[in-house]
Amino acid sequence: PEAVIDAGVGAGGGRMREFVESEILARFGDGSARVGLGALEDGSVHSVEGDIVLTTDTHVVDPPVFPGGDIGELAISGTVNDLAMMGATDPIALTCGLIVEAGTPESLVTDVLDSMAAAADRVGVEISTGDTKVMGAGEIDRIAINTTGIGRVTGEPLQAARLEAGDRIVVSGPIGEHGLAVLSAREGFDFGGDLASDVAPVNDLVRAAMAAGTVRTATDPTRGGLAMALNEFASSADAGIAVEERAIPISEAASAAGEVLGIEPLDVANEGVAVFGVAPDDADAVVDALREAGAPDATIVGEVLTDHPGRVVLDTGIGRRYLAEPTGEQLPRIC
């Protein structure tokens, strides 16, 4: 019979200690913390100096394994990316807060932990502390993971409020892939293997962009998609943002899936894309640097305006319209 997680693993006694020793310590905790995971203390301790970014996300994606990735890779990438979007491209440490449903196959949990460890290793960040809770059968759907991260930012933190008129808007890659791939998988559609999540840490891209020019802000267009991210830029900067629709990279598979599902690629989550606001004179250099750093589709899609404060103006090629933030009536559990 398949081994499953039972309630005892979350009860804080010997059963949990065994789980932590055999499944967690075997995978996580290599690092340079002053007090690391191996001490099994109340927390980890890190010697730092300067400006520290703190960010958190809980991941509840359904299904937990999807074309192109799984909830473990997503949980690490998501938090690494949020740190990077503030300018902290070399994260110090991440936490792992697990909630597991009693009865979940142990193999799902260990596969997800493997993915977390692999993604953290790739980035070179340690998972230094965590928590494991088990809820009853039917009280949570399989697995949810919170990851919280800390990282150091040198210089001015990246912030949308720093955007200035004339700054160029740069996207690092094709838009809409993650959300459309997850929704397709959930609905049972198959786009011939062409559509997969873009989930990936993009801290390297942000580092490359910052080295190539003056990056004023960056964000990962996750829930709400590029449309939400651009509206947030406009709102935080109290400026207009002009975007050229035909410049936005969208794959054929994503376009096709969007039409079948009745969903706008601009409105759905990306998990391996960065959107930048860059000083005008540096925009070409930043695009070149991104392309060299592994983002061949990086491109300028728009710029910051002096008028239309708080609004995104989309040039469709045949005219202009405001690009609204998605309302959020649909699309639960995308990440």
Ligand X SMILES: Nc1ncnc2c1ncn2[C@@H]1O[C@H](COP(=O)(O)OP(=O)(O)OP(=O)(O)O)[C@@H](O)[C@H]1O
Query: By CB under 8 A, what part of segment 9-28 binds a second copy?
Result: 9-17
DSSP 135: E
- Which lies closer to ligand X via its Cβ, residue 105 or residue 296? 105
Q: Cβ distance 149 to 78 under 8 Å?
A: no
Between the two ends of the chain, the Cα-to-Cα distance in Å is 31
Cβ burial of 29 (10 Å; 0-12, 13-18, 19+) is buried
State the binding string over 263-302 for a second copy (x if CB under 8 A, else -).
Answer: ----x-x---------------------------------
Q: CB of residue 189 vs Mg ion: minimum separation in angstroms?
A: 26
Instruction: Check binding of 204 to a second copy (CB under 8 A).
Output: no
Question: Is 96 a binder of ligand X (CB under 6 A)?
Answer: yes
Query: Which CB atom, from 70 or from 220, has the smaller least distance to Mg ion?
Result: 220
In the complex with ligand X, the residue whose CB is nearer, 93 or 305, is: 93
Q: How far is the CB of 42 from Mg ion (least distance, A)?
A: 4
Which one of residues 42, 47, 193, 262 is an interface residue with Mg ion (CB under 5 A)?
42
**Helix (H), strand (E), coil (C) string for 243-302:** EEHHHCCCCHHHHHHHHHHCCCHHHCCCCCCCEEEECHHHHHHHHHHHHHCCCCCCEEEE
Which amino acid does the sequence have at 249? P
- Residue 78 engages ligand X in binding (rule: CB under 6 A): yes
- Measuring CA to CA, which residue among 32, 100, 47, 102 is closest to residue 72? 100
Q: Which residue is nearest to ligand X (CB)?
A: 130
With CB cut-offs between 5 and 8 Å by kind, which of ligand X, a second copy, Mg ion, none does residue 69 bind?
A: none
| Residue 24 interacting entry, from a second copy, ligand X, Mg ion, none, C-beta within 5 to 8 Å by type | ligand X
Segment contacting ligand X by CB under 6 A, of 37-45, 65-73, 196-204, 295-303 = 37-45
Phi, psi of 225 (to 5 degrees): 70, -165
- What's the CA gap between 244 and 258, in Å, rounded? 19
